[in-house]
């Protein structure tokens, strides 16, 4: 299909599909005060102490709030919530339990997310979240969680929201803390760019494959990067062919939609300082190619580009918050389809590095496109480290489910920093073994390697990718196949695309330190 026809088709989709997006609340930052009416959310520690907003409302109601809590069995335990309608002059009163332990930033984010999600279908024009604590940057973290929690993707819905129309969830969510209006500065400078980047990654991962393909992915990133200090480079088929990128070309050759290599560079650090490199798998739809996947749940393969969405969104976030670092994101974009032109099991592919591999399965395409992307960023940018992100294997889902992404690395220091960033951000990792003997299972009688075969699948995939990374260069591989999509909602994560990895990598950059020599 010609580029002109693809552009016309994209325009047709935009016009043919009505966009009836439900509203989201604007966030405001206001002085600590307890309103006497409206929709109000407060928090209380386990045991219901005789202080703070809970005690004030209880006194105002003549002890009715504590009695109501007793009747409902509410004691302020972590993740509990008392939802009262028409109580003590309030249209709605939400009382959130915070448990006994001191609250971390991620716990504060969860509280903001819980309030946002609880009021997402409400037509209340204003919601006040009153926070009595004095945690550092509490307001920004509450707002961050609220922004993540109220995310919706409704652009293809033609019907109004079942609960009150399209204005449900519209209006203002006022964050009332002791920081007051001054909290807006920290939010706008440090956290809003990250929240927006997570939403962008979720949008990309949710889009159907008939609306998002390699060229369109590039267009979306260009639009999102407008006005930011970013440099964008795009390699088309001709450029990749000149560079000998046989792997990414082999994956994309079965599709009418050609592959692309997208590079997004941000220079917020010192002139000439080596960047941090993030490389993402960007398969905009993965049918499996000639090694065709079964039909069951194949629709989810529209999200096989989440690694690419994560890395470009991370660098967009870094630019948005003016992080003092140099960083580069590389998205290896292709659509893996079966056709008379598609690559076959048994084919031998020569990559840009000169190294060859034999295709055992065309459904092991993610590791294929990453080989050329990794070679390119090492050659062009000479990074100080590389982290690749990919929805790579079903094996990691079997091992870790949706609770952790798999971390593979030859570098203990880098692995430790990523594990710490995962814990701090709430996007947790579990380190998996990466053994040299995995390579024995990938030996080919006619090429340097095979792209699969044997087990363990996740470890073998990581080993294969690592063969295109220079020894001595700190490198980590994140297999996010179990964490990119949520089957049920959590406070800051909707059902569906999670945008997993943006918060993790942003936290990693905030805390990054070079190992001492």
Round to the nearest angstrom and report the end-to-end CA distance of the chain.
Answer: 54
CATH 3.40.220.10 maps onto the chain at: 26-190
Fold of 209-511: Aminopeptidase (3.40.630)
Whether pLDDT at 130 is above 70? yes
CA-to-CA dists, residue 301 to 63, 233, 398, 461, 505, angstroms: 54, 26, 17, 18, 23
C-alpha R_g of the chain: 24
Among the listed residues 302, 367, 410, 450, the single catalytic one is 367
| Residue 357: predicted pLDDT | 98
Annotated binding site for Mn(2+): 281, 286, 304, 363, 365
Q: Where are the beta strands (DSSP E) in 90-221?
A: 90-97, 126-130, 172-177
| Residue 18: predicted pLDDT | 36
Angle between the N-to-C axes of helices 138-149 and 105-118, in degrees from 0 to 180, rounded to the nearest 10: 50
498-513 pLDDT, tens per residue?
999 999 999 999 999 9
Instruction: State the Cα–Cα distance between residues 58 and 66, nearest whole angstrom.
Output: 6
| Residue 164: predicted pLDDT | 47
Answer whether 372's CB lies under 8 Å from 332's CB. yes
| Residue 165: predicted pLDDT | 54
Answer whether 254's CB lies under 8 Å from 337's CB. yes
Whether pLDDT at 32 is above 90? yes
In the block, residue with structure tokens 């990128």: 245
| Residue 23: predicted pLDDT | 61
Tokens (6 digits) for 413:
């220091």
Annotated binding site: 281, 286, 304, 363, 365
177-212 pLDDT, tens per residue?
999 999 999 999 999 999 999 999 999 999 999 999
Of the two residues 79 and 162, the one the predictor is more confident about is 79
Residues 6+ apart with CB under 8 A from 209: 284, 285, 301, 302, 335
Cross-sheet strand order for the sheet of 81-87: 26-31, 172-177, 126-130, 39-44, 90-97, 81-87
Active site residue 367: yes
In the block, residue with structure tokens 């190992």: 515
What sections of 338-390 are H helices per DSSP?
A: 365-381
- The highest-level CATH class for domain 26-190 is alpha beta
Closest to 314 (Cα-Cα) out of 514, 507, 112, 106: 507
Among the listed residues 123, 126, 152, 293, the single catalytic one is 293
Residues 6+ apart with CB under 8 A from 407: 415, 418, 419, 422, 429, 430, 431, 432, 476, 477, 478
Does residue 233 sit in helix, strand or coil?
Answer: strand
The DSSP symbol for 155 reads T
199-247 pLDDT, tens per residue?
999 999 999 999 999 999 999 999 999 999 999 999 999 999 999 999 9
pLDDT band of 144, cuts 50, 70, 90: very high
Instruction: State the Cα–Cα distance between residues 427 and 422, nearest whole angstrom.
Output: 5
3-state SS, 169-198, equals CCCEEEEEECCHHHHHHHHHHHHHHHHHHH
| Residue 46: predicted pLDDT | 98
In the block, residue with structure tokens 């629709």: 299
Instruction: State the Cα–Cα distance between residues 119 and 23, nearest whole angstrom.
Output: 12
Phi and psi, residue 10, nearest 5° = -60, -40
In the block, residue with structure tokens 């000479």: 382
pLDDT band of 456, cuts 50, 70, 90: low
Instruction: State the Cα–Cα distance between residues 151 and 199, nearest whole angstrom.
Output: 7
Instruction: State the Cα–Cα distance between residues 47 and 33, nearest whole angstrom.
Output: 23
152-176 pLDDT, tens per residue?
999 998 875 554 455 677 899 999 9
What torsion do the CA atoms of 310, 316, 318, 320 make, to the nearest 10 degrees?
A: -140
Looking at every residue in the chain, the average pLDDT score rounds to 93
CATH 3.40.630.10 maps onto the chain at: 209-511
Whether pLDDT at 4 is above 70? no
CA-to-CA dists, residue 249 to 278, 306, 334, angstroms: 21, 20, 8
pLDDT band of 24, cuts 50, 70, 90: confident
Whether pLDDT at 65 is above 90? yes
**CB neighbour burial string for 172-197, b if at least 16 within 10 angstroms, e if fewer:** ebbbbbebeeebbebbbebbbbbbbb
Tokens (6 digits) for 497:
């695309």
Tokens (6 digits) for 492:
């800051």
Closest to 358 (Cα-Cα) out of 370, 367, 345, 369: 345
Other CB atoms closer than 10 Å to residue 157's CB: what's the count? Answer: 16
């Amino acid at each position: 299909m010609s580029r002109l026809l693809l552009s016309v088709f994209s325009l047709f989709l935009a016009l043919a599909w009505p966009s009836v997006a439900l509203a989201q609340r604007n966030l405001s930052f206001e002085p600590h005060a307890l309103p006497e009416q409206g929709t109000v959310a407060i928090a209380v520690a386990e045991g219901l102490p005789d202080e703070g907003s809970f005690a004030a409302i209880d006194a105002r109601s003549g002890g009715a709030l504590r009695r109501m809590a007793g009747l409902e069995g509410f004691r302020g335990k972590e993740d509990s919530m008392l939802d009262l309608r028409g109580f003590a002059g309030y249209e709605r009163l939400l009382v959130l339990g915070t448990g006994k332990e001191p609250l971390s930033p991620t716990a504060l984010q969860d509280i903001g997310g819980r309030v946002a999600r609880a009021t997402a279908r409400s037509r209340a024009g204003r919601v006040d979240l009153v926070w009595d604590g004095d945690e550092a940057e509490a307001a920004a973290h509450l707002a961050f969680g609220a922004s993540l929690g109220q995310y919706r993707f409704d652009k293809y819905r033609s019907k109004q929201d079942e609960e009150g129309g399209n204005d449900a969830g519209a209006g203002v969510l006022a964050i009332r803390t002791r920081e007051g209006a001054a909290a807006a500065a920290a939010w706008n400078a440090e956290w809003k760019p990250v929240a927006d980047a997570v939403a962008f990654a979720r949008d990309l991962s949710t889009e159907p494959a008939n609306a998002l393909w390699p060229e369109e992915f590039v267009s979306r990133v260009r639009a999102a990067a407008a006005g930011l200090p970013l440099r964008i480079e795009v390699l088309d088929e001709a450029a990749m062919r000149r560079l000998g990128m046989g792997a990414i070309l082999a994956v994309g050759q079965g599709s009418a939609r050609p592959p692309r290599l997208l590079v997004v560079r941000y220079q917020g650090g010192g002139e000439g300082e080596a960047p941090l490199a993030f490389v993402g798998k960007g398969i905009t739809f993965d049918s499996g190619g000639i090694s065709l996947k079964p039909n069951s749940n194949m629709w989810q393969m529209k999200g096989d580009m989440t690694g690419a969405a994560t890395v470009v969104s991370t660098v967009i976030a870094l630019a948005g918050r003016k992080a003092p670092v140099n960083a580069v994101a590389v998205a290896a974009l292709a659509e893996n389809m079966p056709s008379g032109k598609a690559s076959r099991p048994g084919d031998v592919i020569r990559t840009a590095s000169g190294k060859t591999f034999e295709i055992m399965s065309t459904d092991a395409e993610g590791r294929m496109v990453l080989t050329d992307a990794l070679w390119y960023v090492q050659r062009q940018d000479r990074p100080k480290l590389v982290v690749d992100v990919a929805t790579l294997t079903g094996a990691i889902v079997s091992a870790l489910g949706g609770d952790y992404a798999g971390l593979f690395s030859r570098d203990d220091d880098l692995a430790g920093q990523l594990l710490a960033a995962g814990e701090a951000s709430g996007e947790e990792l579990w380190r998996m073994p990466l053994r040299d003997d995995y390579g024995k299972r990938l030996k080919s009688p006619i090429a340097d390697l095979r792209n699969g075969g044997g087990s363990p699948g996740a470890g073998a995939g990581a080993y294969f990718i690592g063969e295109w990374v220079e020894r001595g260069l700190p490198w980590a591989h994140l297999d996010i196949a179990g964490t990119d999509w949520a089957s049920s909602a959590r406070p800051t994560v909707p059902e569906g695309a999670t945008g997993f990895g943006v918060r993790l990598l942003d936290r990693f950059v905030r805390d990054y330190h070079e190992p001492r020599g």
